[in-house]
Structure 1
Amino acid sequence: MNSPQASRPLAAPDQDAARSLWEQYAQVHPAAASASPDFLVDQFGDHAELADELLDLVRSGRKTATASLLAEYVWEGEAPPGIGAHTVFCDGDGAPRVIVRTTGLALAGFTDVDADHAWAEGESDRSLAHWRTEHRRFWERVCTSAGRSFTPEMEVLMERFEVVWSDAEA
């Protein structure tokens, strides 16, 4: 997870294209789609380069987990995903690229996130030290932009997922 030096802002996700990708998935996998018919549309990171970098890790199979501050869901008035939930992830330009299905969720304080989760996030050297440094920087930016302050006591929602569809299959 890199800092936003000379970064492009995230483009808004293309909702129509995300719906189209979802419909292609649902046509091929009707039982899976009907078991969880609602889906989220989202992007990784807080700038386009980071979104693309993390999405590339997902597409390569290296990234099978992500983490969010539980407080972000409250600030944004959204419910966190549940097991079996689908998310269409878009690149930094807003184009939908993959659909993932949530396979596991756990809560931990920032300082209690473990090395196994850091490894599953697949970033850089996959170490817990790197995870903590970069996620702290990221969440400090996120909190600042929301008019809040990051604290290590904040709860982290650790999510495991599997890719169930990609734009390459469409």
Structure 2
Amino acid sequence: MDVEIFWQQFKNAHPEVTTNHHDTYAFGSDADALAHLVKIGRKTATTSALELYEADEPLPYVGEYNVILDGHDQPVCITQTKVTEVVAFDQVTQEHAYHEGENDRTLTSWRQGHRDFFTAEYQAVGRTFNEQIPCLCEVFERVD
């Protein structure tokens, strides 16, 4: 289904939503699995490397709606951002790792998976990952 049709169907079902703005994205390394975790309510948080946002790329903000895509760029569900905060990689909490909903939901597995992902992302732009990088931690709620 087309993302804009999906969004309009959501708005039609939720007349309290007065904005036309929404972000559209798929999650990192396994978009299908991660979109599924959001859809079933297990994944309610995500983390991005703040330094890897493009200069003209807007950051997520509280109240923003997001159309979550699967690995084939098909819309799966809609979330709304509830919290954003910048935290150093090595200061991300067990609670945030749990809400990311991945693997066994521990901070240890979160750090390993995100360390691997961020290392590759930093290498792709000719930079070096370290454990003090600023991370944009976002908490969201599935709204449709």
TM-score normalised by the shorter chain: which range applies?
over 0.9
SS for the counterpart of 1:87 is: strand
1:128-155, Cα deviation, whole Å (9 max, x unpaired): 0000010010011111222222121111
Q: 1:126 Cα shift?
A: 0.4
Q: In 1, Cα distance between the equivalents of 2:15 and 2:2?
A: 19
In the alignment, what sits opposite 1:41?
24
Q: In 2, Cα distance between the equivalents of 1:26 and 1:152?
A: 40
Deviates more, 1:88-97 or 1:145-154: 145-154
Does residue 55 of structure 1 match 2:24? no
Aligned residues with identical type, % of pairs:
36
> What TM-score do the two structures reach when normalised by structure 2?
0.94
1:5-53, Cα deviation, whole Å (9 max, x unpaired): xxxxxxxxxxx81111110011111222x1x42111101014xxx1111
Q: In 1, Cα distance between the equivalents of 2:46 and 2:95?
A: 12
Count, aligned residues:
144
Does residue 105 of structure 1 match 2:84? yes
Q: 1:83 Cα shift?
A: 0.3
Question: Which residue identity is paired with 2:48?
Answer: S
* RMSD (Å), alpha carbons: 1.3
Q: In 1, Cα distance between the equivalents of 2:4 and 2:130?
A: 36
Q: In 2, Cα distance between the equivalents of 1:94 and 1:88?
A: 10
> What TM-score do the two structures reach when normalised by structure 1?
0.80
Q: 5+ residue gaps in structure 1?
A: 1-15, 166-170
Identify which of 85, 110, 118 aligns with 1:131: 110
In the alignment, what sits opposite 2:6?
21
